[in-house]
Structure 1
């Protein structure tokens, strides 16, 4: 009976879009597991299942916010069952958050050590030459550029490494809500917010305004909210990537949402017909090419 019940519970998880773990423990306790498609090592999936009396369970994902209940007889859970499961879920969520904070803090110590050991970046680094930007506050270890990622309080939590060929990798650890700043943030009147670091360097060099590089489109909103809280009087301008060759144009979509949510202005790079590119660094390269040809 128990195997059949666990099988039905698995089927309910799959029907809800959650791939169940290989082993289901029906002990009434909350268990966490890795969800397919999530970052390696993460355990955002969770479930609890008991077989005493009427078999019942609950499952979900902390990443997506999914939460679903299940009972063997198909009836609604009693208030007592719901309350017991709710206490389990809340306790496990608090524990998971504490574990995540501890992991982020440990990774931050590693990132700060790497940052401290790095030297100021060489202006002749191939990536900087290709992007035609100055190093600004970047550092370098061997052939890798090291991009610092701070929170709104000025604490360094992580770094991104950029290879000579432009390949990019984050260290494991915290990423959301962080940004790489370029320029002077002492009482700024205007702050530009963009995705990539080279785009931010171009924007700063062309406008003189300080720039926050969110590093990816999905982090624009968090970076904009952090900026709105940290620099209350500053005008925020979201400088989108124009991903016109990608379905749904995620650069403009995320930038528009971030601008609306924070009351920021929005600017989008427009490209000449037939020219490749998506961001303001690409647009600057097109202008330089035109200048060389006397256009």
Structure 2
């Protein structure tokens, strides 16, 4: 049987360009299906974008596009997909795509590990150098809380985070309450600890809430920094404290249809056989309610 000759010269260039455009179109179509409308660049380099359903700056979605195939995925879920121009399945291209995705994954893990190590080293050095926080810091005064182990760098409070074994980074809190993480901090499963473990451990989101809970009840508290980290923190604590009851004291985000504070809090508590509780809805607090708010109102009893 005669084989179809491969195009050469200008025809080959046209065929290659047509294939590249087809791959780009197929990739755009798949990314559009998750709500991500972007211009695809077929340069063989890795490109990162925010996931439409997550907070800004997450850069979870990635893709690598070549002229004859593309690979994309979500680092938040671990999923990945191969993209080819429409036509017969090509096992060789599929294998190239798989190898490309694995190589990019290894590169990202190594780069991430280096950033985590650098952040941990910087945080450990600053922990021994920074002074204890001023009790009259505007954020503390507004929340009516004490600084406890918080440190201070310039105008910002500094909350050092641990993974249960050592310092891994920190979060800064400005006088107005703006929060930022040290670049490279390994946030998943890391928390700001307060108090000594006794008959139970409370887990919450923010530093201010953790201090309010500790001042009201004297409990050991772990501030997970955000609702998405509640479950990893609870799992970490359960591993090291297998018999201690864990209470997740959720933010009540009733101003949002999905109420992430309560939703993630229940999931975290269920994962460790714990309990999830949250404040009631308040008409004069349209932006949600947490235990720090109750403390300021004098109602955290």
Shift in Å at residue 39 of structure 1? 6.8
Secondary structure at the residue paired with 2:107?
helix
1:20-56 alpha-carbon deviations (Å, 9 max, x no partner): 6653136xxxx42222458769685132546xxxx44
1:1-295 aligned at under 5 Å gives the runs: 1-17=15-31, 23-25=41-43, 31-36=45-50, 45-47=62-64, 49=66, 55-78=68-91, 80-153=92-165, 155-174=166-185, 175-185=187-197, 188-271=198-281, 273-274=283-284, 278-287=289-298
Shift in Å at residue 74 of structure 1? 2.7
CA contact (8 A) 2:50 2:57 kept: no
Shift in Å at residue 215 of structure 1? 0.8
C-alpha RMSD of matched pairs (Å): 2.7
Shift in Å at residue 221 of structure 1? 1.0
Give me the whole-angstrom Cα distance separating, in 1, the residues matched to 2:127 and 2:39: 38
1:227-267 alpha-carbon deviations (Å, 9 max, x no partner): 11121121111100011122221111111111122221111
Aligned length: 278
TM-score by length of 2: 0.82
Shift in alpha-carbon separation, 1:73–1:247, aligned structure 2, 3 A = closer
Shift in Å at residue 150 of structure 1? 0.9
Give me the whole-angstrom Cα distance separating, in 1, the residues matched to 2:271 and 2:90: 38
Shift in alpha-carbon separation, 1:23–1:77, aligned structure 2, 3 A = same
Shift in alpha-carbon separation, 1:89–1:275, aligned structure 2, 3 A = closer
Structure 1: gaps spanning 5 or more residues? none
Shift in Å at residue 211 of structure 1? 0.3
Secondary structure at the residue paired with 1:203?
helix
Give me the whole-angstrom Cα distance separating, in 2, the residues matched to 1:288 and 1:61: 42
Structure 2: gaps spanning 5 or more residues? 1-14
| 2:12 alignment partner in structure 1 | none
Shift in Å at residue 73 of structure 1? 4.0
TM-score by length of 1: 0.84
Shift in alpha-carbon separation, 1:36–1:271, aligned structure 2, 3 A = closer
